[in-house]
């Protein structure tokens, strides 16, 4: 494959976390640098494939892979659901945007080879280290009273509103940043027991400490859930390599130290004597069955089930949950279109039983193909992607947006390193 495609996909890997900061508005849409890099990758890929076909007439791409066919089936079901869409224009835009983002699942396995994987992994880890360090500065700066233009934090997550700062770094929201960090955390964790150099192990352990601290400071309970599930999944997948327990113990110690440092930072800014952590923080992270957040999620779940019962087989239209539950289907509320805060229920409401079943089938084929690596050197990346994706799916039960770039990047990377099932 032409090196320009690989360079563009490496740029996608490096630019994944740049959403709110790094993006810019065009005609009401937030355009992100990772999207521009993906568009460039497609242009280079199409040009390369066209030259290859012209020169030798051979088929240059693989499209009959079962995972590709299952994903196509899901998007066919999503397209069918548009017949019930109350706001057809919005549904069509959301479907098109999801198709573009999900194209990573097809492009990456067709463009990347084993020799490209270390570069991709390094791009993800270096980028995560940079945005993690920025996020830590953002937290400290906001807690010290630095202006928003300097910290880059949204006022919604600032100390002035909540009583404490929720770290969001460059992402649109803290929960999205926590979700993104699952991939670099899993990649660093899977690399750690395989690293032969002591310097590399120290760097990976330090990175795991920084990123764990960032996840803690997002104060996202869904993010904490995703991290816990990712760690458990990674330990299970890597259980055969846990004989050398020292790097693992060091990583756990650093992770625990990161969480402890988060508590100390909160206590320091709220209580100079370090004697207590603010009640507002504990109330925020421990209130599960009470308060406005719980009431809102209970309402959205009820609305999602009601929408599904209205059109149980093909749903109310992909991207149509918000218009369906809003007072005016063609007028977005001031706070934006509502979401179900549960991706499973949102898919059920929007695409019905057919769409949800097709997506579950795609995931089943994806994880089945991930049982073995395409090459021995890809084994660490394979287990990391599996663990990270399981964690993302767990967190997806607490929020809902399917067209997230880093989720489809993880899926694309997993398909790249997995041995294809027979069509």
Positive or negative, the CA dihedral 15, 17, 21, 24 is: positive
Name every residue whose Cβ is closer than 8 Å to that of residue 73 and which is 6 or more positions away in sequence. Answer: 358, 361, 362
Burial of 363 (0-12, 13-18, 19+ CB in 10 A): middle
Of 218, 262, 213, 252, the residue nearest 232 (C-alpha): 252
Q: What share of the chain is helix, strand, coil (3-state, %, to 5)?
A: 70, 0, 25
Q: Helices 405-417 and 33-56, interaxial angle, to 10°?
A: 40
In this structure, the dihedral spanned by the alpha carbons of residues 195, 198, 200 and 204, taken in order and rounded to 10 degrees, is 90
What is the per-residue burial (b if ≥16 Cβ within 10 Å, else e) of 336-360?
A: ebbbbbbbbbbbbbbbbebbbbbbe
The residue count for the chain: 423
Beta-carbon contacts of residue 160 (< 8 Å; ≥ 6 apart): none
Q: List the pLDDT tens digit at each of the 423 positions of the chain.
A: 678 999 999 999 999 999 988 877 776 667 899 999 999 999 999 988 887 766 665 556 777 789 999 999 999 999 999 999 999 999 999 999 999 999 999 999 999 988 999 999 999 999 999 999 999 999 989 888 889 889 999 988 988 887 788 999 999 999 999 999 999 999 999 998 888 788 998 899 899 989 999 999 998 889 999 999 999 999 888 877 666 666 666 666 777 777 777 777 766 666 555 455 566 666 666 665 555 555 576 788 888 999 999 999 999 999 999 898 888 888 878 778 888 889 999 999 999 999 999 999 999 999 998 887 656 568 899 999 999 999 999 999 998 889 999 999 999 999 999 877 654
**Distance between CA 239 and CA 80 in Å, rounded?**
43
Neighbouring C-beta atoms of residue 84, cutoff 10 Å = 22
Distances (CA, A) of 31 to 18, 19, 24, 25, 364: 10, 8, 5, 6, 32
Q: What angle do CA 15, 126, 375 make, to 5 degrees?
A: 90
Q: Compute CA distances 222 → 170, 180, 279, 384, whole Å.
A: 18, 12, 20, 19
How many C-alpha atoms does 321 have within 13 Å on its Cβ side?
A: 29
Identify the pLDDT of residue 356. 96
**Any idea what the Cα angle at residue 191 is, between residues 233 and 170, rounded to 5°?**
80
Q: CB neighbours of 405 closer than 8 A, spacing ≥ 6?
A: 12, 16, 32, 34, 35, 38, 101, 104
pLDDT at 195: 82
Report the sign of the C-alpha dihedral through residues 99, 104, 110, 111, in that order.
positive
367 vs 357: CA distance, rounded Å: 15
160 HSE (CA, 13 A, CB side): 10
Any bridge partners for residue 141, and if so which? none
Distance CA 33, CA 18 (A): 7
The model carries a pTM of: 0.91
The token pair that represents 406 in the structure block = 């880093």
For residue 245, the model assigns a pLDDT of: 60
Cβ contacts of 270-279, under 8 Å, gap ≥ 24: 270/164, 278/163, 278/164
Running DSSP on this structure, what letter comes out for residue 1?
A: -
C-alpha span between 178 and 216 (Å, rounded): 9
pLDDT, position 280: 65
pLDDT for position 423: 47
Is the separation of the CB atoms in 355 and 315 below 8 Å? yes
- β partners of residue 29: 26
Cβ–Cβ < 8 Å for 272, 279: no
> 350: number of CA atoms within 13 Å, CB side?
31
């Amino acid at each position: 494959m032409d090196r320009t495609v690989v360079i563009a996909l490496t740029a996608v890997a490096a630019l994944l976390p740049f959403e709110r900061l790094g993006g810019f508005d065009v005609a009401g849409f937030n355009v992100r640098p990772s999207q521009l890099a993906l568009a460039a990758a497609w242009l280079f890929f199409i040009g390369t494939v066209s030259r290859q076909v012209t020169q030798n007439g051979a088929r240059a791409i693989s499209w009959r892979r079962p995972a590709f066919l299952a994903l196509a089936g899901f998007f066919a079901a999503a397209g069918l659901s548009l017949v019930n869409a109350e706001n057809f224009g919005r549904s069509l835009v959301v479907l098109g945007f999801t198709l573009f983002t999900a194209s990573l699942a097809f492009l990456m396995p067709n463009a990347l080879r084993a020799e490209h994987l270390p570069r991709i992994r390094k791009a993800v880890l270096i980028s995560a280290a940079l945005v993690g360090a920025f996020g830590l500065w953002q937290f400290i700066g906001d807690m010290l009273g630095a202006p928003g233009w300097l910290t880059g934090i949204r006022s919604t997550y600032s100390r002035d509103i909540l009583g404490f700062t929720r770290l969001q770094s460059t992402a649109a929201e803290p929960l999205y940043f926590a979700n993104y960090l699952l991939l670099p955390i899993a990649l660093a964790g899977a690399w750690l027991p395989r690293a032969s150099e002591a310097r590399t192990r120290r760097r990976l352990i330090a990175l795991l400490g920084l990123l764990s601290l960032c996840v803690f400071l997002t104060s996202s309970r869904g993010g904490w859930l995703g991290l816990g599930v990712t760690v458990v999944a990674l330990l299970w997948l890597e259980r055969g390599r846990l004989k050398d327990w020292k790097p693992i113990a060091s990583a756990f110690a650093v992770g625990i130290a990161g969480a402890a440092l988060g508590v100390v930072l909160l206590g320091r800014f709220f209580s100079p004597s370090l004697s207590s952590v603010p009640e507002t923080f504990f109330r925020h992270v421990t209130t599960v069955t009470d308060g406005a957040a719980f009431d809102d999620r209970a309402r959205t779940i009820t609305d999602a089930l009601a929408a599904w019962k209205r059109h149980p087989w093909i749903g109310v239209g992909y991207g149509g949950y918000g218009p369906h539950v809003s007072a005016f289907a063609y007028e977005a509320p001031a706070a934006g279109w509502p979401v179900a805060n549960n991706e499973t229920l949102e898919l059920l409401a929007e695409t019905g039983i057919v769409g949800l079943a097709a997506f579950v089938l795609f995931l089943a084929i994806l994880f089945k193909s991930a049982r073995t690596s395409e090459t021995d050197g890809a084994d660490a990346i394979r287990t990391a992607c599996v663990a990270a994706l399981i964690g993302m799916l767990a967190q997806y039960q607490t929020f809902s947006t399917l067209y997230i770039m880093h989720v489809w990047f993880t899926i694309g990377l997993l398909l790249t390193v997995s041995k294809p099932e027979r069509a």
